[in-house]
Structure 1
Amino acid sequence: MIKNIIFDFGDIFINLDKEIIFREIERYGGNPVLSPEVLAINMDYEVGKISSEDFVSQLTTVYPSASSEEIKGIWNGMLLDFPDERLEFIEGIAQENNYCLFLLSNTNALHIEEVEEKMGNQKFNRFRSSFEKFYLSHEIHLRKPNADIYNFVLQENGLKAEETFFIDDTKENTDAAEKLGIKCWNLQVGKEDITQLKSKL
């Protein structure tokens, strides 16, 4: 029996344009194929190992003709809209009080600031208060799909894997959670929506 639900954030609640960073690289004089070094910079930023300032500074090698503000604009440009029906849906699930709800997101300081600004404080706080805990990778210094992030959430909240359901749009993340005994839904973006959750439980 499912008692706990863990949700990803990007492309589950807020729509994303993940391709913008590739589209904009050539425009600003860079190589559209991300190097292992660039991926490592992103991973370090997502677990809070480097500051936003350091992150933007290091990205000048990727976008050599872009200013710091232009780099921030590209980075935050992947954040699109947060449909009201998804907010109302998660608030409804929270009000039913049938499950313990958690958010678990690979994210970073720049994105969360931008999300709050886009949504507005009131709407963002309505969203955040729908969850028992709101876990952001850069704050807990862990990221998906590493097993330690799932174990951290389970252990900190006294959850049993077999009683826990996890939703993420990245198969690598749900595959890792399934290995720990967590039941998962690898949501297919554009074909499925989080508002269909009850049919998946």
Structure 2
Amino acid sequence: MNLTPSTLFLDIGGVLLTNGWDRNARKQASQQFNLDLPELEERHHLTFDTYEEGKLSLEEYLTRIVFYEPRSFTREAFINFIQSQSQPYNEMIDMICALKKKYNLKIAVVNNEGKEFNEFRTSKFKLNSFVDFFISSCYVHMRKPDADIFKLALNIAQVAPEEVLYIEDRPMFISVAESLDIKGIVHKDYDSTKVALKEFGLSV
């Protein structure tokens, strides 16, 4: 029988909010701003991990991927476009809030995200109204799937792995967490996650 979790570890992109700056958003950006998509993708993949680890500012990241040559549009216009890609999954947010209240759960975000994106999304969608702490790559300078980010999250939460349930849309990251005895749900959609949560004793 499963121990009812005392703590939820949550990803943001793909679980609580849209990914925001994913492959589809970059494709849209290339069309709207007349950018060479293969070049944008290559530059993004070469440098995005460094940005997410908090070792580059957003300004530096954008210089590397877009503004390495003169453009007909401003940085502000490009940043506004990126921010517009973030949308909430309101059903998921409402369910997490209801579970927190009903079971007095600790809620921790464990996510890969650049500092400026992270702060914008946290503020815009009021994530800190129900998240107790953020173990975000930009602050801790490590990224999933590095197992150390989960170890750090456990230490900050002051809980044993067996007390944690981790909701994440990427199966590899769930597997890494499970190697540390953290139980996980691979999030596909609201309905299936709601059913899976009930199996762990958490129902709304």
Pick the TM interval, shorter chain. 0.7 to 0.9
CA displacement at 1:50 relative to structure 2: 0.7
1:23 alignment counterpart: 28
* Alpha-carbon contact 1:41-1:55 (below 8 Å) kept: yes
1:137 alignment counterpart: 137
Match of 1:14 among 17, 23, 44: 17
1:153 alignment counterpart: 153
CA displacement at 1:194 relative to structure 2: 5.0
2:106 alignment counterpart: 100
2:76 alignment counterpart: 69
* Alpha-carbon contact 2:54-2:141 (below 8 Å) kept: yes
Deviating above 4 A after TM superposition, structure 1's stretches of 4 or more consecutive aligned residues are 61-66, 191-197
Question: AA paired with 2:57?
Answer: S
Name the count of aligned residue pairs.
Answer: 192
Q: Which runs of 5+ in 2 are unaligned?
A: none
Structure 1 CA distance for aligned equivalents of residues 17 and 195 of structure 2: 15
CA displacement at 1:168 relative to structure 2: 0.6
Structure 1 CA distance for aligned equivalents of residues 77 and 159 of structure 2: 43
Q: Which runs of 5+ in 1 are unaligned?
A: none
Instruction: Render the CA deviation track for 1:143-176: whole Å, top value 9, x for unaligned.
Output: 1111110011112333222222111111221121
Which segment drifts farther, 94-103 or 140-149?
94-103
Question: CA 1:186–1:82 in structure 2 vs 1: closer, same or farther (change >3 Å)?
Answer: closer
Structure 2 CA distance for aligned equivalents of residues 193 and 110 of structure 1: 32
Question: CA 1:200–1:50 in structure 2 vs 1: closer, same or farther (change >3 Å)?
Answer: farther
1:174 alignment counterpart: 174
1:46 alignment counterpart: 52
2:64 alignment counterpart: 58
Which segment drifts farther, 61-70 or 92-101?
61-70
Report the aligned-residue RMSD.
2.7
Question: AA paired with 2:78?
Answer: I
1:199 alignment counterpart: 198
* Alpha-carbon contact 2:122-2:128 (below 8 Å) kept: no
Match of 1:3 among 2, 6, 15: 6
Structure 2 CA distance for aligned equivalents of residues 92 and 44 of structure 1: 36
Question: CA 1:156–1:16 in structure 2 vs 1: closer, same or farther (change >3 Å)?
Answer: closer
* Alpha-carbon contact 1:30-1:62 (below 8 Å) kept: no
CA displacement at 1:12 relative to structure 2: 0.9
Structure 1 CA distance for aligned equivalents of residues 36 and 26 of structure 2: 11
TM-score (norm. length: structure 2): 0.79
CA displacement at 1:113 relative to structure 2: 4.1
Aligned-residue identity in percent:
19
Which segment drifts farther, 173-182 or 22-31?
22-31
Question: CA 1:44–1:130 in structure 2 vs 1: closer, same or farther (change >3 Å)?
Answer: same
Question: CA 1:63–1:181 in structure 2 vs 1: closer, same or farther (change >3 Å)?
Answer: farther
Instruction: Render the CA deviation track for 1:71-94: whole Å, top value 9, x for unaligned.
Output: 3234324312342x4333222222
* Alpha-carbon contact 2:16-2:89 (below 8 Å) kept: yes
Instruction: Render the CA deviation track for 1:11-53: whole Å, top value 9, x for unaligned.
Output: 2111345311123235523233722x53231111111101121
Question: CA 1:196–1:135 in structure 2 vs 1: closer, same or farther (change >3 Å)?
Answer: farther
